[in-house]
């Protein structure tokens, strides 16, 4: 049976950090809040339980005062290599997408590949592309 193609986005970044350091930045709430979210957003709090079926939640505040909350569950966790998790905004809980973060060693750095699948529509792809691009810029700066 043919599955309908759902919108997705992919981005790659080379980070000046080991896979273990990058993995920690994704799974330690105190580190994640320092880089998560685009330039106009500050992550205020994060709860992370990086185990299969463990939950995570991140609360972000936009510079105009708008509060955003995203949460989900870990579907796959391979320490220092791969995280797969569901992704759902508190405002649209029925729209569940999936994020895969893959970490590959590259000399003294790491190639991070982020795949965000099963997005709702083109507008969702554009919004998430903006958010992830901004987050990647902050993550690169975090390890600069």
Cα–Cα distance between 95 and 92 in angstroms, integer? Answer: 6
Q: Where are the domains of the chain?
A: 9-142
Q: Which residue has the tokens 């809980």?
A: 93
* Residue range 3-11: mean pLDDT, rounded: 87
Q: What pLDDT shows up at residue 2?
A: 62
Q: Report, at the CATH architecture level, how domain 9-142 is classified.
A: 2-Layer Sandwich (3.30)
Q: What pLDDT shows up at residue 5?
A: 77
Mean pLDDT, the chain, whole residue set: 96
User: For residue range 66-121, what is the model confidence (pLDDT) as tens digits?
Assistant: 999 999 999 999 999 999 999 999 999 999 999 999 999 999 999 999 999 999 99
* Residue range 30-55: mean pLDDT, rounded: 97
Cα–Cα distance between 71 and 89 in angstroms, integer? Answer: 6
Prediction pTM value: 0.95
Nearby residues of 103 by Cβ (< 8 Å), 6 or more positions away: 19, 22, 23, 80, 81, 82, 110, 111, 112
Q: What pLDDT shows up at residue 3?
A: 63
Q: What pLDDT shows up at residue 4?
A: 67
């Amino acid at each position: 049976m043919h599955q309908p193609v759902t919108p997705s986005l992919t981005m790659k970044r080379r980070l000046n950090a080991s896979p273990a350091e990058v993995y920690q930045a994704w799974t330690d709430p105190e580190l994640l809040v320092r880089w998560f979210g685009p330039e106009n957003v500050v992550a205020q709090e994060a709860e992370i339980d990086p185990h299969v079926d463990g939950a995570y939640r991140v609360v972000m505040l936009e510079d105009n005062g708008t509060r955003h909350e995203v949460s989900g569950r870990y579907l796959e966790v391979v320490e220092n290599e791969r995280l797969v998790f569901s992704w759902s905004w508190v405002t649209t809980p029925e729209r569940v997408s999936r994020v895969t973060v893959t970490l590959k060693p590259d000399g003294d750095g790491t190639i991070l590949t982020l795949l965000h699948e099963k997005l709702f529509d083109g507008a969702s792809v554009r919004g998430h592309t903006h958010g992830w691009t901004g987050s990647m810029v902050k993550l690169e700066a975090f390890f600069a």
